[in-house]
Amino acid sequence: MMTNEMTGQMEAVASIAPFKVDTSRGRADGRVSSEWFTRPDDERYLNLNDLYAAVHARKVLATAKVIETRTLRVEADRDEPERLALRIPSQKSPPASSIAVRRIQAPPSILAQNASRRARNVAGMNADDFRDYMLSFLFLRYLSDNYEAAAKRELGPDYPDLPEYVLERSGASTPLQAWYEDNPNDVAEFEKQMRRKVHYVIQPPYLWNNIAKLARTQSDELLLTLYEGFKYIENESFQSTFGGLFSEINLYSEKLGKTQADKNKKLCSIIAEIARGLAAFSSEVDHLGDAYEYLIGEFAAGSGKKAGEFYTPQQISDILSAIVTLDSQEPATGKKDRLASVLDFACGSGSLLLNVRKRMGPHGIGKIFGQESNITTYNLARMNMLLHGVKDTEFEIYHGDTLANDWDILRELNPAKKPSFDAIVANPPFSLRWEPTEAMGDDVRFKNYGLAPKSAADFAFLLHGFHYLKDEGVMAIILPHGVLFRGGAEERIRTKLLKDGHIDTVIGLPANLFYSTGIPVCILVLKKCKKSDDVLFINAAEHFSKSKRQNQLADKHIGKIIETYQFRKEEDRYSKRVSMERIAEEGYNLNISRYISTAVGEEEIDLSATREQLVTIEAQIRMSITKHNTFLKELGLPLLPGEN
């Protein structure tokens, strides 16, 4: 029953619709709909003069402003964008002119942040534990939305687009389940078509909408259904088997409860809260993909040094992807039309590879290859690929040790069959301790250069990737500054790479760009056949924007680095092309400060001009003293010294 206050001031979720509000409901809060609940016998109308923003949960969630005669723009509060509301004074008579209310969609990053934060509070977990749950459910939501949209296109008018109350009476949880039950003889052919067109199948019980409904109704079947659904997706959904894809999400963890019933109840609460948050999302691939990338970055920030295992900041990723997609011999001519293959041998969550794909377009790369040793981030990478619309036949991510080279496709001994890649990007662990065996000295990747020292595997990673680079390919790798100047085995490797003409560009980046370390890093650009006989040095260490947590590279900083590389520009105190003769004179030391001076020269002082200024000032002082002494003498007061 409505109170007087509710009758006097009703709240309604904003949407594009006629302004009729159901007074019996008091408030329509939650998911934005294009429909308004109405009762013909008791309609209320919006009046421009009485419309104002709602105050909800002790926060002003929206500000309303008339921007056109017939349009009201409502902008959501940054912290609570999905709870957009307007408070509407009661008014029986319709306004003189009607208007439309438009909801402004909040960015995916903000929606993801809010959904994750509230669900994590319900779960009572730390960021590392909760990460796998949140990302897995976001991934399931994407697969389900994409599959149901494709099913609707495939079935056309036969798709049972039924209202929820009709579905409930039929016993089906989703329209697709209703179709499955009504057409059992057609299911096999339908799934065959879906595998051909969208490359995977998800049976109705495992779709996100059904999982969310089980959670919302606190069903005892949730835990088992979710477990079976994950196994189905891993082993049966795709043409390729994605074994262990959900292995890091422990549905039977004691952190969810002691008994099975407790675990099921906790999962219901977590998933119901996540579902409420995800309801505000657009189902577009880009939106869910952006949200997934954002959450990976947020979890990386919360994980501190652990973040280096799986995340390359987007700003650095932009630089690497731009470099490897430009023509290797003539970067000034622009981006390549197509890359047959791209490799990241320490791919983490796959963000670098996806950034390359974004630059090349969805059909600009033949196949994406990645390798990752950490099982958690290996699964993140596979989900990330699928969630960004990369078909299972368009990528291959391998779980294994890069330095041990245990990936079969890279162990081909026949040089004629050796795999090679147009573009290689990497952000391997910095200065990782490793244990090279004696046999590794004869490994084809290292034997021409020597082994990197046990204390730092940086050059081992570099040589691994460089071995698989095509003659016309480009490799860009992020490494600590030490590789530029350290002695011993690293000096020998660096010297040979330089003498052989393989190091094309050295880019120095600012400190504190990474979650995992505050040290400054560099990007080395390598080519097997480079046109120029010099090395381009770019000193971008002083070009950044400060922020609370990490330093940031703004678009102008990123653009300047890319443009300088592309056109091999030289600029005082920023970039310089250095001959091999000069580098040899420096003992093949690539420390950037040896070639680009960052010192600010002292300003020259013109002594004659300075003397004239001092003489003029002295004369002005004497004139002022004489003037003041005249007044002091008339007053009979002591005179100021220095008149003569």
| Every domain of the chain and the residues it spans | 4-106, 109-283, 309-594, 606-644
Please tell me the distance from the alpha carbon of residue 119 to that of residue 262, in angstroms, as a whole number: 17
Alpha carbon distance 582, 279 (integer Å): 61
What does the alpha-carbon distance between residue 312 and residue 34 come to, in Å, rounded to a whole number? Answer: 40
Residue the block writes with tokens 């280096």: 308
Q: What is the pLDDT of residue 453?
A: 96
C-alpha angle 201/206/212, rounded to 5°?
135
Task: Choose the weakest-confidence range: 48-57, 252-261, 443-452, 462-471.
Answer: 48-57
Confidence label for 14 from pLDDT (cuts 50, 70 and 90):
very low
Residue type, 189: E
SS3 label, residue 83: coil
What pLDDT is attached to residue 186?
A: 96
Give the pTM. 0.75
DSSP-based helix, strand, coil % in the chain, nearest 5 = 45, 15, 40
- 117-121, 427-431, 477-481, 628-632: the lowest-pLDDT one: 117-121
List pLDDT tens digits, range 470-513. 999 999 999 999 999 999 999 999 999 999 999 999 999 998 88
Q: Which one, of 354, 370, 373, 379, lies nearest residue 410 by Cα?
A: 370
Q: Coil, strand, or helix at residue 81?
A: coil
Residue 22 has pLDDT above 70, yes or no: no
Name the DSSP letter for residue 79: S
Burial call 78-104: b when 16+ CB within 10 Å, e when fewer: eebbbbbbbbbeeeeeeeeeebebebe
- pLDDT value of position 510: 92
- Exposure class string for 507-540: b at 16+ Cβ within 10 A, else e: bbbbebbbbbbeebbbbbbbbbebeeebbbbbbb
Lowest-confidence segment of 164-173, 263-272, 319-328, 386-395 by average pLDDT: 164-173
pLDDT of 157 reads 92
Cα–Cα distance measured from residue 510 to residue 550, given in angstroms and rounded to the nearest whole number: 10
pLDDT at 63: 34
Tokens read off for 305: 């040094």
- What is the Cα–Cα distance from 159 to 147, expressed in whole angstroms? 13
Burial of 232 (0-12, 13-18, 19+ CB in 10 A): middle
What pLDDT band is residue 75 in, cutting at 50, 70 and 90? Answer: very low
pLDDT of residue 387: 87
CATH superfamily of 109-283: N6 adenine-specific DNA methyltransferase, N-terminal domain (1.20.1260.30)
For the chain, what is the radius of gyration of the CA atoms?
Answer: 33
- Check residue 287 and give its pLDDT: 67
CA distance 477 to 368: 17
> Residue 282: is its pLDDT beyond 90?
no
Average pLDDT, the chain: 80
Q: How many angstroms separate the CA atoms of 133 and 120, rounded?
A: 9
9-13 sheet: strands from edge to edge: 27-28, 9-13, 85-89, 52-53
**Strand, helix or coil at 57?**
coil
Whether the per-residue pLDDT at 101 is higher than 70: the answer is: no
Reply yes or no on whether the pLDDT at 364 is more than 70: yes
Continuous H helices in 280-415: 285-303, 314-325, 351-360, 375-387
What mean pLDDT comes out for the span 49-63? 30
Give the N- to C-terminal CA distance of the chain in Å, as an integer: 98
Predicted confidence at residue 131, as pLDDT, reads 81
- Residue 154: CB atoms within 10 Å: 14
- Percent of the chain past pLDDT 70, that is, above it, reads 77
Of 82, 86, 142, the C-alpha closest to 118 is 82
Which of 206-210, 301-305, 350-354, 621-625 is the least confident region?
A: 301-305
Number of C-beta neighbours around residue 244 at 10 A? 14
15: its two tokens = 């949407």
How many DSSP H helices and E strands does the chain contain?
18, 18
Here the contacts of 627-636 (C-beta below 8 Å, separation 24 or greater) are none
Tracing tokens 């085995």 back to the chain, one arrives at 489
Strands 85-89 and 9-13, sheet pairing: antiparallel
In 183-248, which ranges are continuous DSSP H helix?
187-197, 208-216, 222-232
What pLDDT score was predicted for residue 17? 32
For the ranges 55-64, 226-235, 281-290, 468-477, the lowest mean pLDDT is seen at 55-64
Pick the CATH number of 309-594 from 3.90.1310.10, 3.40.50.300, 3.40.50.150, 3.30.420.40: 3.40.50.150
Residue 642 Rama label (left phi>0; alpha psi -120 to 50; beta):
left
